[in-house]
């Protein structure tokens, strides 16, 4: 029989490059003891302010490190096949077994890979030594080249290095089903899919790759057993197959399942499909796949349909690192599940993994909890050709995409393969499409790109938008949202009426200057971007605060999450819950602990028809409804006591209410533990989280308490602590400040079981303590069979099937864009854009938010076309601010403020001209690019790094190619203008 071992426990580690460590005889006794998943950046992440400019956190250790693992295999396993599976190593890994380097260097960072160890391992009493070199150097260059791998950059993902996902050792009979690990085994495993899905029946089809590593031919029986969610056998089918010596081949067999139940986000029903290899009446190998039966359809005119029922996709984008403050990107599976449970509680049914692939633990959680996933390969942003990209980078990406599909294609939660975070050149698009068709021909999953352009569209099935855009809408593509609402606001900053925050501002010139209240109330405004019935829905960006892609220097993370860096919910989390969930929901944004005399607007987010507000049971009035879900009560006088909001349905019936009370002074601390369902494991990698709350004498959390608490830990555990979001240097410290009355700290187990005691002291409100006992985990000869137990998810009532989209409904009404230059225009800035100005003349408005008019337009721009952008976004930093397709051959011009530093994208993509123009009284220089019809342009922000108080936002124009541009710019030269000063119109 096949056997799988947990290889996570008890490794040796050193944070240094020690090439000699690959040798069997190397002495590693002075190295640290660690268990997996492990990152060596848990001690230096969430520790420094974001650099700004999208760079993320870069003040961390990067470089080569080494891991070593000792294990023994039983003598009776000598006739078996031995495989090792790595779920992911960042950024890159070289693997050695007993001093021999195994083929290849894995540089994908996010995709599983494996090796055949059979010919290199010892059996019996002789130890095996596994050595792994892990490199998270920044910038990271592909092996032996000067080619930068763009996805290994804190711009996109924090560069947390380590063997940060699980490692397994598989012991198999020489006659066995293969593993879905193409790198470096070149095997494809078991592929399970459905055909002939009817109302209550479906064919379950299994394509099992079976290897015969014996030196003689074998005849076997492949037996498939299907169990339902109650562990009852509901279907069995089999096929006899013959195999020549030392070969592998795919065996296809199928059976018809009766009374089939469908998988969906609101009913994630999973079958267990066991594939057994039987030889001479004996089962010699098994492999089990969790399987969900479902049908779905993305439409361009009616939105998304799940099993025939219309469904709006609601959820989040998330970094595949999922990093926690004090913990980093490496943590046990139950913590991945916890993140998904938070999403589900808030009404999420959708998750888009950003740029690179979500972990196996994440996808398993989505399968079991019911979150539809968009799963990418590995990517930074844009094509792998040009700039920092390279052919070497492309080759790694394309192989990683192949490996991704093979590894994850059985997952019922994955509905979309994302081939690129931007449009790619035609040759790349063809290659991605071919891999999709080759390795998932029956999964019926669409292939998609974010910010898709015309050159990619013929080879894609679905468009992924940004900030409500609808790329390729003129071509009839269905749309899912990849990342809307990229605003930022820290959890600790309630509002500007809370004591201590009256004058709160982030870094001067920051694009975002929001409180937690601002971030929450803006959720309704941003949700409008995907609320069109024809829009399939999609991802709010982002679920948890991340140390990547930082814009604001005054925080230790990018605070655009709905939960913070230790997964504590913000007010925006509860706001999105009120928008996403279908059952009655209501949330009063903020607290009710203000100074006497405070007068402020009160905001309530609710999915009700109307909301009333009461103070101390006295009716204040009915809220002014905004953006469907936000109810505003203006200029409310704070009165100590209770504030209560009541929600009504269309019939005037009360459906939900919520109250918040003015608390007393902080009186004592309350400690609440959080760990996995099986308790805290003494495996060296499990975590105990402790919530520390300041409460009043009645036990109510005091939302404005920010006092310091000091921690003392006793017992077999390692302190990892938490963080303070607006302070540097708080990671792994034994003292922290509470934020909005609460904070969360992490404690890591060791290999020793026992009582772990945490003592917490506040100079203001006393002390508290808690004891949690870690449980022994069995490990023998370096191996364990301890794996997380699959939890049963309550399913509720079966929702049944719908009738699907209306077949004869017209496409969403769209303007005829064929006569215009700019089509499929999308904008990811903060403020609203105006309508595209066509047949441009002097006197037209230059900006969407100001009354400034065009004057002295160059003749060649007259009767051209202009994008009407908001000048208020002059300091907004984004690489993809504008995405637009040029419908005709055209000259595209960008007018950029002469007094501002030019952004890199402008200098790289556009040529300077001699022409200048006056906009809003300031001089602008024109840059030009000639493009062919169908070209898609992505334009970045007005500035790369610096900010300005007086400068203008750039403007974009399009005209016919080689329109009369004879003017060499001498007109303005003759005016002898001082361009550093505003131009006063005469």
Apex CA 720: angle with CA 754 and CA 559, to 5°? 140
Sheet holding 296-299, edge to edge: 296-299, 303-306, 309-310
DSSP letter, residue 933:
T
Residue-wise DSSP of 480-547: EEEEE------TT---TTSTT-TT---STT-S----HHHHHHHHHHHHGGG-STTS-EEEEE-SB-BS
With residue 336 as reference, give the H or E element that holds it.
helix 333-345
Cα(680)–Cα(122) distance, integer angstroms: 33
Give, in order, the Cα–Cα distances in Å from 546 to each of 249, 339, 495, 564: 44, 14, 22, 8
Torsion of CA 382, 385, 387, 393, to 10 degrees: 90
Cα(408)–Cα(411) distance, integer angstroms: 6
Is residue 616 within 8 Å of residue 649, measured between CB atoms? Answer: no
Residue 483 is a catalytic residue = yes
Is residue 496 within 8 Å of residue 594, measured between CB atoms? Answer: no
Q: Which residues contact 886 (CB under 8 A, 6 or more apart)?
A: 821, 822, 823, 892, 931, 932, 933, 934, 935, 936, 937, 958
Residue 584: left if φ>0, alpha if ψ -120 to 50, beta else—which one? beta
Cα(577)–Cα(575) distance, integer angstroms: 5
* Marked catalytic residue, from 207, 481, 483, 571: 483
- Count of residues making up the chain: 986
Residue-wise DSSP of 568-628: -B-HHHHHHHHHH-SS--EEE-S-S-PPTT-EEEEEEEESSSEEEEEETTEEEEEPEEETT
Q: Which two tokens stand for residue 899?
A: 């007094």
**Bridge pairing between strands 247-257 and 218-227:** unpaired
Cα(548)–Cα(486) distance, integer angstroms: 13
Phi, psi of 417 (to 5 degrees): -95, 125
Is residue 545 within 8 Å of residue 556, measured between CB atoms? Answer: no
Give, in order, the Cα–Cα distances in Å from 66 to each of 5, 63, 262: 22, 10, 46
Cα(259)–Cα(407) distance, integer angstroms: 29
Residue 552: left if φ>0, alpha if ψ -120 to 50, beta else—which one? beta
Helix (H, G, I), strand (E, B) or coil at 935: strand
For residue 838, the cross-strand partners are 865
Query: Per-residue b/e over 952-968, b at no fewer than 16 CB within 10 Å?
Result: bbbbbbbbeeeeebeee
Helix (H, G, I), strand (E, B) or coil at 400: helix
Is residue 777 within 8 Å of residue 682, measured between CB atoms? Answer: yes
Active site residues: 483
């Amino acid at each position: 029989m096949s056997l799988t071992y947990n290889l996570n426990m008890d490794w040796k580690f050193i944070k240094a490059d020690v090439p000699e460590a690959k040798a069997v005889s190397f002495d590693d006794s002075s190295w640290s003891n660690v268990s997996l998943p492990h990152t060596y950046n848990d001690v230096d992440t969430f520790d420094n302010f974001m650099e700004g400019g999208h760079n993320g956190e870069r003040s961390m250790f990067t470089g080569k490190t080494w891991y070593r693992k000792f294990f023994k295999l039983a003598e009776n396993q000598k006739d078996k096949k031995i495989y090792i599976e790595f779920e992911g190593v960042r950024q890159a890994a070289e693997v050695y077994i007993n001093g021999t380097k195994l083929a290849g260097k894995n540089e994908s960072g996010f995709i599983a890979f494996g090796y055949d160890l059979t010919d290199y391992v010892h059996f019996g009493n002789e130890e095996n030594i596994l050595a792994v070199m892990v490199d998270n150097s920044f910038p990271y260059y592909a092996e032996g080249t000067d080619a930068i791998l763009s996805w290994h950059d804190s711009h996109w993902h924090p560069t947390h290095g380590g063997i940060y996902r699980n490692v397994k050792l598989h012991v198999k009979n020489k006659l066995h089903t293969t593993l879905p690990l193409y790198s470096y085994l070149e095997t494809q495993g078991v592929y399970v899919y459905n055909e002939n899905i009817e109302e209550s029946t479906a064919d379950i089809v299994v394509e099992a790759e079976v290897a015969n590593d014996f030196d003689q031919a074998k005849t076997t029986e492949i037996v498939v057993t299907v169990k339902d969610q109650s562990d009852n056998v509901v279907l069995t089918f089999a096929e006899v197959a013959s195999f020549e010596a030392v070969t592998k081949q795919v065996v296809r067999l199928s059976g018809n399942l009766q009374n089939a139940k469908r998988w969906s986000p609101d009913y994630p029903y999973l079958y267990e499909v066991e594939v057994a290899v039987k030889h001479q009446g004996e089962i010699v190998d098994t492999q089990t796949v969790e399987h969900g039966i479902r049908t779905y359809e993305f439409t361009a005119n009616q939105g998304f349909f799940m099993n025939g029922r219309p469904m709006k996709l609601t959820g989040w984008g998330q970094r595949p690192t999922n990093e926690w403050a004090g913990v980093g990107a490496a943590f046990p599976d139950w913590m991945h599940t916890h993140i998904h449970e938070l999403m589900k509680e808030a009404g999420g049914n959708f998750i888009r993994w950003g740029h690179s692939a979500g972990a196996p633990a994440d996808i398993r959680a989505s399968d079991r909890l019911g979150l539809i996933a968009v799963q990418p390969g590995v990517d930074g942003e844009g094509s792998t050709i040009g700039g920092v990209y390279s052919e070497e980078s492309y080759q790694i990406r394309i192989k990683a995409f192949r490996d991704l599909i093979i590894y994850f294609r059985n997952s019922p939660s994955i509905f979309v393969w994302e081939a690129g975070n931007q449009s790619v050149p035609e040759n790349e698009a063809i290659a991605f499409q071919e891999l999709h068709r080759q390795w998932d021909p029956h999964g019926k999953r669409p292939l998609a790109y974010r910010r898709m352009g015309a050159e990619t569209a013929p080879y894609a099935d679905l468009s992924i938008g940004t900030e409500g855009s609808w790329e390729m809408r003129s071509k009839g593509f269905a749309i899912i949202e990849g990342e809307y609402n990229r605003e930022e606001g820290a959890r600790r900053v309630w509002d500007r009426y809370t004591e201590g925050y009256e004058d709160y501002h982030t870094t001067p010139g920051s694009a975002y200057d929001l409180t937690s209240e601002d971030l929450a109330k803006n959720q309704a405004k941003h949700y409008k971007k995907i609320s069109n019935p024809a829009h399939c829905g999609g991802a709010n960006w982002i679920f948890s605060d991340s140390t990547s892609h930082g814009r604001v220097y005054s925080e230790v993370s990018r605070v655009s999450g709905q939960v913070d860096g230790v997964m504590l919910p913000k007010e925006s989390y509860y706001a999105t819950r009120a928008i996403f969930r279908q059952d009655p929901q209501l949330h009063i944004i903020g607290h009710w602990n203000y100074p006497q005399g405070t007068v402020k607007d009160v905001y309530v987010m609710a999915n009700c028809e109307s909301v009333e507000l009461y103070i101390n049971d006295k009716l204040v009035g009915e809220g002014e409804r905004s953006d469907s879900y936000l109810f505003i009560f203006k200029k409310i006088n704070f009165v100590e006591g209770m504030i209560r909001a009541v929600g009504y349905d269309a019939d005037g019936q009360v459906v939900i209410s919520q109250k918040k009370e003015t608390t007393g002074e902080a009186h004592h601390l309350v400690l609440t533990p959080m760990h996995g369902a099986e308790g805290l494991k003494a495996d060296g990698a499990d975590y105990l989280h402790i919530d520390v709350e300041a409460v009043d004498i009645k036990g109510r959390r005091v939302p404005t308490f920010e006092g310091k608490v000091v921690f003392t830990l006793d017992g077999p555990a390692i302190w990892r602590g938490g963080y303070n979001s607006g302070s540097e240097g708080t990671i792994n410290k034994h003292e922290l400040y509470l934020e909005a009355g609460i904070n969360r700290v992490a404690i890591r187990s060791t290999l020793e079981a026992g009582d772990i005691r945490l003592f917490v002291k506040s100079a203001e409100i006393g002390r508290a303590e808690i004891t949690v006992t870690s449980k022994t985990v069995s490990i023998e000869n370096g191996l364990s069979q301890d794996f997380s137990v699959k939890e049963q998810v309550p399913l509720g009532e079966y929702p049944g099937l719908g009738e699907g989209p209306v077949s004869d409904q017209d496409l969403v009404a769209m303007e005829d864009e064929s006569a215009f230059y700019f089509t499929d225009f999308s904008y990811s800035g903060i403020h609203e854009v105006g309508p595209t100005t066509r047949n441009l003349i002097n006197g037209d408005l230059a900006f969407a938010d100001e009354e400034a008019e065009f004057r002295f337009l160059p003749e060649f721009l007259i009767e051209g076309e202009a994008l009407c952008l908001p000048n208020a976004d002059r300091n907004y930093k984004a690489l993809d601010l504008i995405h637009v397709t040029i419908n005709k051959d055209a000259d595209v011009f960008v007018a950029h403020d002469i007094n501002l530093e030019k952004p890199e994208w402008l200098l790289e993509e556009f040529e300077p001209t001699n022409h200048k123009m006056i906009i809003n009284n300031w001089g602008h220089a024109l840059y030009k690019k000639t493009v062919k019809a169908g070209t898609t342009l992505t334009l970045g922000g007005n500035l790369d790094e610096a900010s300005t108080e007086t400068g203008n936002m750039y403007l974009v124009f399009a005209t016919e190619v080689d329109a009369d541009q004879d003017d060499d710019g001498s007109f303005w030269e003759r005016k002898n203008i001082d361009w550093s000063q505003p131009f006063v119109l005469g």
